Amino acid sequence: MLEPQLKKLNFYKGVKFEVKGKQLFVRSSDRTTLQEKTEAYFKKSNIKFKPRKKVTELDITGASQVLVFKPLFAKGAGGVKFEHQIVKDLNDWFKGAEYKDLLHPDTIEQFVKTVKLKQNSRYMAKGVGAANTKRPPSFTAKKATVTNNFKGKVSDVDVIDTKSNKVLYHLSLKFSKSFYIYNATVIDYFKSSSANTRKMINEFFGFDGVKMGKAFGKEFRVETKKNYNYAQILTRFKDLLKQCLGPDIVLMLKIAPGNNHIDYIKGLNHKITLSGLTKDSYGYAEKGVRKYNFIRFQANVNGHNYEIDFQFRGTTATDTGPRYLRILFKAK
């Protein structure tokens, strides 16, 4: 059987398995990396496989099931389910339920204390995750701007005063120790026909343009400066992260029962301290190892410690080049 075999692999730790007919779904917070590692394991073990029409589905010789790589859910580990549960818990609490009767009593109680909200049936929680819209970035040599970045754009759940029909709080939900806060297309900068544009974007992030060419191809190559001021780069990253987290937002991260990071931020006044960025923080795509670049550093965001990865990658196994910037937080 395919499932027991995969469960023995170290990199399948934390992966959720689900059988649907003749399909075996494997869900993870980073399905692209999981698929890359799985295919590398199959090749090393001489297990024959081939992608189906949909590249995230594999036929494996000798297996009765189609292996399908899936994200845990749209908003992190169990995110869609978590959104529905938070909406129900909030509405039950507004109507008079006690904390002990809720699915996430610790989370709701901490939220209530954080925003100083009174229990009142005039309030209502409403899921609005589908309203999330694209927030593309624009870059200059010293500044990244997240466009279309208005109040409510990153909201998953709104708390509304039904008498005034006013939104009191926008909630951004995460239900995982690691989660993405931003995903945007950047390949037009890195693959620009203008060498000046390629130089600008590489130097903005601190990449070696020659190594970029070796990683992704000659069309990505550009001469860049040899010595970077990493303190200046972290200043740019800090500004970018504040924008990515969103304005006027309640950040609600549930790592585990009793372990919640909940912060109410007005405007873009996120308190962020970054450290640990050196030339060794940069990883480049390498054949047989990984298909993407990354930048890794340490952060304290609104009083909580994280490791942050800026990943430059595709989202499917067939994507090549730094098509997207994806920002991954890992709670410590």
User: CB count, 10 Å around CB of 155?
Assistant: 24
- Provide the pLDDT for residue 33: 83
Distance CA 153, CA 181 (A): 12
| CA atoms within a 13 Å half-sphere pointing along the CA-CB vector of 40 | 14
291 confidence band (pLDDT: 50, 70, 90): confident
Task: Give per-residue pLDDT as tens, 168-189.
Answer: 999 999 998 999 999 999 999 9
First-to-final CA distance of the chain: 35
CB 69 within 8 A of CB 75: no
Residue 132, pLDDT > 60, answer no
User: CB count, 10 Å around CB of 176?
Assistant: 23
Task: Give per-residue pLDDT as tens, 58-86.
Answer: 999 999 999 998 876 444 334 568 899 99
Distance CA 192, CA 198 (A): 6
- Provide the pLDDT for residue 41: 94
CB 139 within 8 A of CB 204: yes
Q: For residue 122, what are the contacts with CB-CB under 8 A and spacing of at least 6?
A: 94, 161, 162, 163
Q: Give the C-alpha distances (Å, rounded to integers) separating 8 from 4, 67, 93, 128, 247.
A: 7, 16, 43, 39, 43
**Average pLDDT estimate for 294-319:** 89
Distance CA 273, CA 91 (A): 35
Distance CA 16, CA 24 (A): 10
pTM of the model: 0.77
Q: 15 pairs with which residues across the strands?
A: none
* Mean pLDDT across the chain: 92
For residue 209, the SS3 value is helix
Residue 235, pLDDT > 70, answer yes
Q: Which helix (H) or strand (E) holds 235?
A: helix 230-245
DSSP string over 245-297: H-SSEEEEEEEETTEEEEEEE-TT---EEEE--SGGGEE--BTTTBSSEEEEE
Task: Give per-residue pLDDT as tens, 212-228.
Answer: 999 999 999 999 999 99
CB 153 within 8 A of CB 164: no
Residue 319, pLDDT > 90, answer no
- Burial label, 184 (beta-carbon count in 10 A; 0-12, 13-18, 19+): middle
269 confidence band (pLDDT: 50, 70, 90): very high
- Provide the pLDDT for residue 270: 98
Closest CA to 173 of 291, 284, 92, 89: 89
Sign of CA dihedral 320, 321, 326, 330: positive
